[in-house]
């Protein structure tokens, strides 16, 4: 084959490629692998910041056993899964709708595309603060648009377990739907117009064109959006930190926030790290499933 | 699919490398400049929160820099919530951050900060003969084992604020018991709300440290306890404690107080009161100044202040609060830091804070100061409250205990269907487990903890007899 004759140039290219990759690899090692391994290391020890005199004894899987019996951790795991599934579902749904809209040709499309990305560009802490104000019981905008001047009907949204949860889901969907839209839009743009024209000539209506052409062809893009959003939603922290601090009645106490509380507020480094490791493993497994899914999809499609 | 080969364009290499080098150069220049500036003046970094009366504090900082031109104070403003402030500070100190010299400490932190080695022991700078000039409660709150870790700046304790005008109009005296307060509030709100928006009560019931302070006042004034100092067992599942919590759920939240109090910290809860929308209000002493400040308050001159109510057959209790100044063990400017702490806690500044910001001083002498007593006649009465105010459990693991309490209280008061007894038992067991971790420490910190607690009880009694004999 042609390749064999170019052997030396290929090795050269490989060395060059490796030298380009090494800085990135070192970066990942320092900022990703090291913290993960260190968290795992910490999770095998009993480390309490308030009690340095107990030292840092190695306790094996004791922390993990404790985690299994921790009813608050179990509840916050369920809360996290609920948050991930509900928010990701709506993000993909709205993302798809937005993408379909901004993929069409109309006047001012550039402006609309830019406008849709605004929520994504706002730092989460800022948008969370904004949503907290919107939901405020006394001067919040939500009460004002729902009840106007009728103060007696005003509700304390963030004091109600259900609405507080709904509020963080809404804040997340509002912010990141545009991100999902962006990924799906990229998928939409790879579909050649000829396909639609041919379908039109064959007499396919709009729904059929969407169902038979658009949807199958953007499936990989949707899956990638799903992957990103699931992983991201699983690590939700800033929304909860700003809007509810895990309350009311633990209804928004997601796993990341619980782990943060354990480490930074209570000083249980070892146990808190155990929770981090749990988050890591869950996200890792989820990603593996998604990547497998994306791969098989890609192969069956091509 | 086609395999793409990346073609590295050699002509790109130079500009990229050049840009990186330039960036590094600029960065090091910036860092270098910052360093040289540091050498001229001693800089101390003060971790503080956003005060309720920023102008007063501004004056104090200006005064300090005028008196000590060689020291510059850089303030880093943390969150208002004590819990969030603790998290920020703990994170910095845990990492041995050199960017912290002086910091505010809530009254519950010295055992933790001392035990963890974050706060510098101040015994040499702040010896017992100096400590004698301060109120006993805050001094003990700053002591852990044999050392003292902070200098108290002002003392807080829960107080009941009420609308003098409304109580008078309906012929009531300030309530002595909680049920009486509920009854009065109901009656007044029933009539007043025909004309305008009116609530009976506001307090702090968000899931944060303030919730523990509020709830403790109900529990302790019903003869309950959080921890039994002798047996070190948690007693929140005992009947007096459970009954008090049930009272808050059934009579306060969403009844005489709006349901929104479940999301209120101090600023939100006082807003209702000074807008004239609440009959009763529970807060710290600073609320007095705010209620009578014509710029912010609509009820100037109409607020009254008194001891917190109790349940019949029991004594009124106020949670001890207040803020201390600590110095970081990792500070490189200890001397300058101490100069700053000494300045802030001096009689002059405490008096200024009392007069201008309504913060109750920690120096005993100031309670005899005619200017202060004239401006705040209630301070002389409040001294009794300050002397009997109950500290929260004193343990280096307090944050963990507090988180369990916050979670339990918030759950049962916000969800009327929850089973208080069951939740209380679970929380109680969890707290016992946390306290038992402490017993596993080789230096027997638990034993000395009991001693200091007993000591605290004795000292407080002594202080009271001292006062009555005066």
- What's the token pair of residue B267? 């600023």
What Rg, from alpha-carbon coordinates, does chain B have?
25
d(Cα A104, Cα A65) in Å, to the nearest integer? 54
Interface-testing mutation among B400, B406, B435, B446, with chain A (most A C-beta atoms within 10 A): B400
What's the CA angle centered on B425, arms B424 and B426, to 5 degrees? 90
Arithmetic mean of pLDDT over chain A: 88
Range B65-86 average pLDDT: 89
**Average pLDDT for B298-310:** 92
Residue B469 binned pLDDT confidence (cut-offs 50, 70, 90) = very low
Radius of gyration from C-alpha coordinates of chain A: 24
Residues B320, B141 contacting (CB under 8 angstroms):
yes
Distance CA B202, CA B45 (A): 36
Q: What are the φ/ψ torsions at residue B153 (nearest 5 degrees)? A: -100, -50
Contacts of A167 in chain B (CB under 8 A): none
Nearest to B270 by CA among B248, B243, B297: B297
Beta-strand pair B199-202/B278-283: parallel
Q: What is the structure's pLDDT at A148?
A: 79
Looking at residue B467, what is its pLDDT?
A: 35
B86/A265 touch (CB, cutoff 8 Å), yes or no: yes
For residues B222 and B30, which has the higher predicted lDDT (pLDDT)?
B222
pLDDT tens digit sequence for B13-33: 566 666 677 777 776 666 655
Chain A contact present for B5, CB below 8 A = yes
Q: Which of B8, B116, B206 has the CB atom closest to A247's CB atom?
A: B206
The structure tokens listed for B72 are: 């510059």
pLDDT at B10: 53
Query: Which of B87, B115, B271 comes nearest A265 by C-beta?
Result: B87
List CB contacts of B339: < 8 A, sequence separation 6 or more: B68, B71
Cβ atoms of A157 and A164 closer than 8 Å = yes
Q: What's the whole-number mean pLDDT along residues A256-261?
A: 91
- How many CA atoms, within 13 angstroms, populate the side-chain half-sphere of residue B146? 1
In which band, very low, low, confident or very high, does the pLDDT at A249 lie, cut at 50, 70 and 90?
Answer: confident
Omega within 30 of 0 (cis) for the link into A248: yes
Question: What is the per-residue pLDDT across A165-190, written as a single tens digit (0 to 9) for each?
Answer: 999 999 999 999 999 999 999 999 88
Rounded average pLDDT over B337-356: 94
Is A268 strand, coil or helix? strand
CA distance A94 to chain B (A): 31
HEC string of chain B? CCCCCCCCCHHHHHHHHHHHHHHHHHHHHHHHHHHHHHHHCEEEEEEEECCCCHHHHHHHHHHHHHHCCCEEEEEEEECCCHHHHHHHHHHHHHCCCCCCCEEEEECCCHHHHHHCCCECCCCCCCCHHHHCCECHHHHHHHEECCEECCEEEEEEECEEEEEHHHHHHCCCCCCCEHHHHHHHHHHHHHHHCCCCCCEEEECCCCCCHHHHHHHHHHHHCCCCCCECCCCCCECCCCHHHHHHHHHHHHHHECCCECHHHHHCCHHHHHHHHHCCCEEEEEECCHHHHHHCCCCCCCCCCCEEEECCCECCCCCCCCEEEEEEEEEECCCCCHHHHHHHHHHHCCHHHHHHHHHHHCCEECEHHHHHCHHHHHHCCHHHHHHHHHHHCECCCCCCCHHHHHHHHHHHHHHHHHCCCCCHHHHHHHHHHHHHHHHHHHHCCCCCHHHHHHHHHHHHHHHHHHHHHHHHHC
* Mean pLDDT over each residue of chain B, to the nearest integer: 85
Is A302 within 8 Å of chain B by CB? yes
Q: Which residues of A touch B108 (CB under 8 A)?
A: none
In the predicted model, what is the mean pLDDT of residues B449-460?
38
Return the pLDDT at B448: 39
**Chain B contact for A52 (CB, 8 A cutoff):** yes
Chain B residue nearest residue A150, CA to CA: B197
Q: Is the pLDDT of residue B464 over 70?
A: no
Q: Given CB atoms, is A15 within the 8 Å cutoff of chain B?
A: no
pLDDT tens sequence across A31-42: 989 999 999 999
B113 neighbors B85 (Cβ within 8 angstroms): no
Let me know: does B272 contact B443? Beta carbons within 8 Å. Answer: no
Compare B32 and A126 and report the one with higher pLDDT.
Answer: A126
Provide the CATH topology of domain B159-205+253-316. Answer: D-Maltodextrin-Binding Protein; domain 2 (3.40.190)
- Given an 8 Å threshold on Cβ–Cβ distance, is B410 in contact with A249? yes
- How would residue A272 be classed by pLDDT, with cut points 50, 70 and 90? very high
Per-residue pLDDT of B110-169, as tens digits, reads 999 999 999 999 999 999 999 999 988 888 889 888 899 999 999 988 999 999 999 999
Residue B454 has pLDDT above 70, yes or no: no
Q: What is the reported pLDDT for B389?
A: 72
Higher pLDDT, B274 or A1: B274
- Using the Cβ of A19 and the Cβ atoms of chain B, whether some distance falls under 8 Å is answered with no
User: Contact B186/B178 with Cβ under 8 angstroms?
Assistant: no
Distance from CA of B207 to the nearest CA of A (A): 6
Residue B422 forms contact with A (CB below 8 Å) = no
pLDDT at B8 over 50: no
Question: CB distance from A49 to chain B under 8 Å?
Answer: yes
Shortest alpha-carbon distance between residue A1 and chain B (Å): 15
Residue B240 in contact with residue B465, Cβ under 8 Å?
Answer: no
The pLDDT value recorded for residue B285 is 85
Are B262 and A248 in contact (CB < 8 Å)? yes
Best A143, A165, A249, A271 member to test B by mutation, with max B CBs in 10 Å, is A249
Q: Is A268 on the interface with B (CB under 8 A)?
A: yes
What's the average model confidence in pLDDT over B96-111? 92
The span from the CA of B443 to the CA of B396, in Å, is: 13
Q: Which of B108, B394, B414 to mutate to test the interface with A (most CBs of A within 10 A)?
A: B414
Q: Which of A155, A249, A302 sits opposite B414 (nearest CB)?
A: A249
Question: What's the confidence (pLDDT) of residue B452?
Answer: 41
Break chain A into its structural domains and give their ranges. Answer: 39-301
| Dihedral, B376, B378, B384, B386 alpha carbons, nearest 10 | -60
Structure pTM? 0.77
Strand order in the sheet with B159-163: B199-202, B278-283, B159-163, B303-306
Residues of B in contact with A147 (CB under 8 A): none
Q: Write the CB contacts of A18 (distance below 8 Å, at least 6 apart in sequence).
A: none
- pLDDT the model gives residue B11: 54
Q: How confident is the model at residue A248 (pLDDT cuts 50, 70, 90)?
A: confident
Whether A92 contacts A230, CB under 8 Å: no
User: Which pLDDT score is estimated for A149?
Assistant: 77
Name the residue facing A250 among B90, B94, B411 (closest C-beta). B411
In this complex, which of A17, A138, A246 lies closest to B207 when CB atoms are compared? A246
List chain A residues with CB under 8 Å of B415.
Answer: 161, 249
The pairing of strands B303-306 and B42-49 is: unpaired
Find out whether A138 and B260 touch, Cβ atoms under 8 Å. yes
More reliable by pLDDT, A279 or A2: A279
Nearest CA in chain A to B403: A266
Percent above pLDDT 90 for chain A: 43
Cα gap B293→B239, rounded to integer Å: 42
Which residue does chain B place closest to A253, by CA atoms? B407
Any CB–CB contact under 8 A between A54 and chain B? yes
Is residue B400 within 8 Å of A267, Cβ to Cβ?
Answer: yes
| CATH topology identical between B41-156+320-388 and B159-205+253-316 | yes
Instruction: Choose between B288 and B219: higher pLDDT.
Output: B219
Nearest CA-CA distance, residue B376 and chain A, Å: 31
CATH node for A39-301:
1.10.3720.10
The residues near B211 (Cβ < 8 Å, ≥ 6 apart) are B204, B205, B405, B406, B409, B410
Question: What is d(CA B325, CA B344) in angstroms, rounded to the nearest whole number?
Answer: 9
Q: Give the pLDDT score at B203.
A: 96
Q: What is the pLDDT of residue B33?
A: 53
| Contact with chain B for residue A37, Cβ under 8 A | no
Nearest CA in chain B to A268: B400
Q: Which residues of B touch A13 (CB under 8 A)?
A: 5
DSSP A13: H
Cα–Cα distances (Å) from B313 to B179, B250, B316, in that order, read 12, 20, 10
Cβ pairs A/B, distance under 8 A: 115
Q: What is the pLDDT of residues B253-296, one digit of tens each?
A: 999 999 889 888 888 899 999 999 999 999 998 898 889 888 88
Taking a contact as any Cβ pair under 8 Å apart, which residues of chain B between 317 and 346 contact chain A?
A: none
The residues near A139 (Cβ < 8 Å, ≥ 6 apart) are: A133
Contacts with B260 from chain A: Cβ below 8 Å: 137-138, 156, 159
What mean pLDDT do residues B304-331 have?
92
The Cβ of residue A29 has, within 10 Å, a number of other Cβ atoms equal to 11
Q: Are B96 and B120 in contact (CB under 8 A)?
A: no
Domain residue extents for chain B: 41-156+320-388, 159-205+253-316
Q: Which of B150, B135, B31 is nearest to B89 (CA)?
A: B150
Distance between CA atoms of A92 and A81, rounded to whole angstroms? 16
CA-based nearest residue in chain A for residue B397 = A50
Question: Does A152 touch chain B if contact means CB atoms closer than 8 Å?
Answer: yes
Chain B residues with CB inside 8 Å of A155's CB?
Answer: 259
**Closest-CA residue in chain B for A152?**
B197
Q: Band of the pLDDT at B314, cuts 50, 70, 90?
A: very high
For A138, nearest residue in chain B (alpha carbons): B260
A48 touches chain B (CB under 8 A): yes
Architecture of the B41-156+320-388 domain: 3-Layer(aba) Sandwich (3.40)
**Contact map slice: B 103-122 vs A, CB within 8 A:** 111-112, 115-117
Q: Which of B81, B112, B263 sits opposite A158 (nearest CB)?
A: B263
Tell me the angle at which helices A71-103 and A215-234 cross, rounded to the nearest 10 degrees.
140
Taking an 8 Å cut-off on Cβ atoms, the answer to whether A266 and B397 are in contact is yes
Is the distance from CB of A175 to CB of A119 less than 8 angstroms?
Answer: yes
* Best-predicted range by mean pLDDT (A245-249, A262-266, B272-276, B380-384): B272-276
Alpha-carbon span B136 to B143, nearest angstrom: 11
Q: What contacts A161, CB < 8 A, 6 or more positions away?
A: A248, A249, A251, B414, B415
Token couple for B430 = 């969890």
Q: Which of B95-104, B407-416, B437-446 has the lowest mean pLDDT?
A: B437-446
């Amino acid at each position: 084959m042609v390749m064999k004759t170019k052997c030396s140039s290929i090795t050269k290219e490989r060395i060059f490629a490796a030298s380009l990759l090494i800085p990135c690899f070192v970066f990942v090692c320092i900022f990703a692998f090291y913290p993960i391994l260190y968290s795992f290391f910490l999770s095998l020890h009993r480390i309490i910041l308030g009690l340095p005199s107990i030292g840092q004894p190695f306790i094996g899987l004791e922390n993990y056993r404790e985690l299994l019996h921790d009813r608050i951790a179990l509840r916050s795991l369920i809360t996290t899964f609920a948050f991930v599934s509900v928010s990701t579902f709506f993000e993909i749904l709205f993302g798809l709708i937005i993408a379909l809209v901004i993929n069409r040709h109309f006047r001012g499309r550039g402006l609309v595309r830019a406008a849709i990305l605004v929520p994504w560009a706002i730092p989460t802490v800022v948008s969370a603060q904004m949503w907290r104000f919107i939901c405020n019981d006394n001067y919040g905008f939500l009460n004002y648009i729902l009840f106007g001047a009728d103060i007696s009907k005003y509700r304390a949204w963030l004091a109600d377990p259900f609405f507080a949860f709904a509020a963080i889901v809404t804040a997340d969907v509002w912010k990141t739907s545009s991100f999902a839209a962006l990924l799906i839009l990229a998928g939409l743009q790879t579909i050649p117009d000829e396909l639609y024209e041919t379908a039109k000539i064959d007499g396919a209506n709009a729904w059929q064109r969407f169902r038979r052409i658009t949807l199958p062809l953007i499936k990989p893009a949707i899956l990638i959006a799903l992957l990103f959003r699931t992983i991201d939603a699983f690590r939700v922290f800033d929304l909860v930190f700003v809007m509810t601090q895990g309350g009311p009645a633990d209804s928004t106490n997601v796993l990341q926030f619980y782990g943060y509380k354990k480490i930074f507020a209570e000083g249980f480094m070892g146990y808190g790290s155990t929770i981090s490791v749990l988050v890591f493993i869950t996200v890792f497994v989820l990603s593996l499933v998604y990547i497998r899914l994306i791969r098989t999809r890609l192969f069956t499609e091509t | 699919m086609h395999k793409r080969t990346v073609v590295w364009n050699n002509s790109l290499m130079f500009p990229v490398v050049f840009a990186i080098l330039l960036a590094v150069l600029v960065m090091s220049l910036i860092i270098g400049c910052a360093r040289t500036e540091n050498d001229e003046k001693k800089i101390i970094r003060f971790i503080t929160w956003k005060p309720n009366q920023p102008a007063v504090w501004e004056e104090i900082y200006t005064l300090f820099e005028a008196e000590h031109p060689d020291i510059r104070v850089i303030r880093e403003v943390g969150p208002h919530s004590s819990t969030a402030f603790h998290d920020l500070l703990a994170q910095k100190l845990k990492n041995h951050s050199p960017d912290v010299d002086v910091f505010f400490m809530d009254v519950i932190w010295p055992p933790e900060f001392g035990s963890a080695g974050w706060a510098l022991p101040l015994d040499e700078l702040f010896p017992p003969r100096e400590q004698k000039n301060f109120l006993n409660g805050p001094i003990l709150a700053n002591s852990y084992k044999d050392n003292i870790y902070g200098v108290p700046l002002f003392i807080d304790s829960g107080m009941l604020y009420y609308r003098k005008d409304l109580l008078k109009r309906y012929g009531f005296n300030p309530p002595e018991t909680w049920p009486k307060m509920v009854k009065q509030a109901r009656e007044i709100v029933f009539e007043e709300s025909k004309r305008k928006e009116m609530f009976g009560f506001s307090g702090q019931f968000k899931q944060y440290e303030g919730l523990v302070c509020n709830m403790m006042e109900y529990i302790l004034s019903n003869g309950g306890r959080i921890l039994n100092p002798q047996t070190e067992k948690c007693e929140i599942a005992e009947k007096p404690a459970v009954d008090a919590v049930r009272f808050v759920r059934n009579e306060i939240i969403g009844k005489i107080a709006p349901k929104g109090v479940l999301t209120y910290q101090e600023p939100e809860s006082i807003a209702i009161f000074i807008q004239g929308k609440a009959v009763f209000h529970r807060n710290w002493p600073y609320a007095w100044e705010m209620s009578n400040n014509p710029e912010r308050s609509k009820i100037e001159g109409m607020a009254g202040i008194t001891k917190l109510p109790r349940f019949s057959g029991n004594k009124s209790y106020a949670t001890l609060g207040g803020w201390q100044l600590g110095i970081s063990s990792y500070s490189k400017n200890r001397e300058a830091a101490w100069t700053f702490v000494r300045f802030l806690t001096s009689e002059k500044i405490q008096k200024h804070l009392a007069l201008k910001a309504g913060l109750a001083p920690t120096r005993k002498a100031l309670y005899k100061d005619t200017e202060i007593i004239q401006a705040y006649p209630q301070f002389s009465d409040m001294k009794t409250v300050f002397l009997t105010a109950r500290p929260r459990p004193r343990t280096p693991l307090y944050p963990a205990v507090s988180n369990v309490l916050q979670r339990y209280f918030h759950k049962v008061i916000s969800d009327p269907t929850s089973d208080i007894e069951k939740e209380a038992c679970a929380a109680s067991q969890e707290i016992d487990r946390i306290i038992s971790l402490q017993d596993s420490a080789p230096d027997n910190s638990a034993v000395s903890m009991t001693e200091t607690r007993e000591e605290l009880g004795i000292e407080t009694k002594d202080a009271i007899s001292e006062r009555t004999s005066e």
